[in-house]
Amino acid sequence: MQFNWGGKIILGLLGMLVGGPVGLIIGLFIGHMLDRGAERVQSFNPFRPYGPGEQEAVHKALFDTVFSVMGHLAKADGRVSEDEIAQARAVMDRMQLDDEQRKAAIALFNQGKSADFPLEATIATFASSVRHRKQLILVFLEILLQIALADGNLHREEEAVLLKVAEGLGVPPQQFRQILNMLLAQAQFGGAGPQGAYGGQQSAPGRARPPLSQACQVLGVAESASNQEIKRAYRKLMSEHHPDKLAARGVPEEMIRLATEKTAEISKAYDMLKEHRGFR
Let me know whether 29 and 157 are in one domain.
Answer: no
Domain span at 125: 54-200+209-277
Residue 196 lies in a domain: yes
Let me know whether 248 and 159 are in one domain.
Answer: yes
Residue 49 lies in a domain: no
Let me know whether 6 and 83 are in one domain.
Answer: no
In this prediction, residues 272-277 reach a mean pLDDT of: 90
Nearest residue to 280 via CA among 229, 234, 227: 227
pLDDT band with cut points at 50, 70 and 90 for residue 52? low
Let me know whether 24 and 96 are in one domain.
Answer: no
Are the beta carbons of 217 and 268 closer than 8 angstroms? no
CA distances from 266 to 58, 105, 129, 218 (A): 27, 29, 30, 6
Question: Does position 27 have pLDDT exceeding 80, yes or no?
Answer: no
Let me know whether 116 and 152 are in one domain.
Answer: yes
Residue 38 lies in a domain: yes
Residue 65 lies in a domain: yes
In this prediction, residues 9-18 reach a mean pLDDT of: 52
Question: Does position 115 have pLDDT exceeding 80, yes or no?
Answer: yes
* Mean model confidence pLDDT for the chain: 76
Nearest residue to 46 via CA among 135, 127, 171: 135
Nearest residue to 259 via CA among 48, 130, 66: 66
- Spatial distance between the Cα atoms of 223 and 231, rounded to a whole number of angstroms: 13
Let me know whether 14 and 90 are in one domain.
Answer: no
Q: What is the pLDDT of residue 49?
A: 58
Let me know whether 23 and 102 are in one domain.
Answer: no
- Spatial distance between the Cα atoms of 167 and 165, rounded to a whole number of angstroms: 5
Residue 48 lies in a domain: no
Question: Does position 102 have pLDDT exceeding 90, yes or no?
Answer: yes
Let me know whether 269 and 164 are in one domain.
Answer: yes
Residue 83 lies in a domain: yes
CA distances from 259 to 67, 70, 111 (A): 15, 15, 24
Q: What is the pLDDT of residue 226?
A: 93
E strand residue ranges, 106-188? none
Question: Does position 186 have pLDDT exceeding 90, yes or no?
Answer: no
Q: Report the percentage of the chain scoring pLDDT > 90.
A: 22
In total, how many domains does the chain have? 2
Reported pTM: 0.67
Q: What is the pLDDT of residue 138?
A: 82
pLDDT tens for 226-259 read: 999 999 999 998 888 888 887 877 777 877 877 7
Let me know whether 25 and 120 are in one domain.
Answer: no
Q: What is the pLDDT of residue 107?
A: 96
pLDDT tens for 83-92 read: 888 888 888 8
Residue 227 lies in a domain: yes
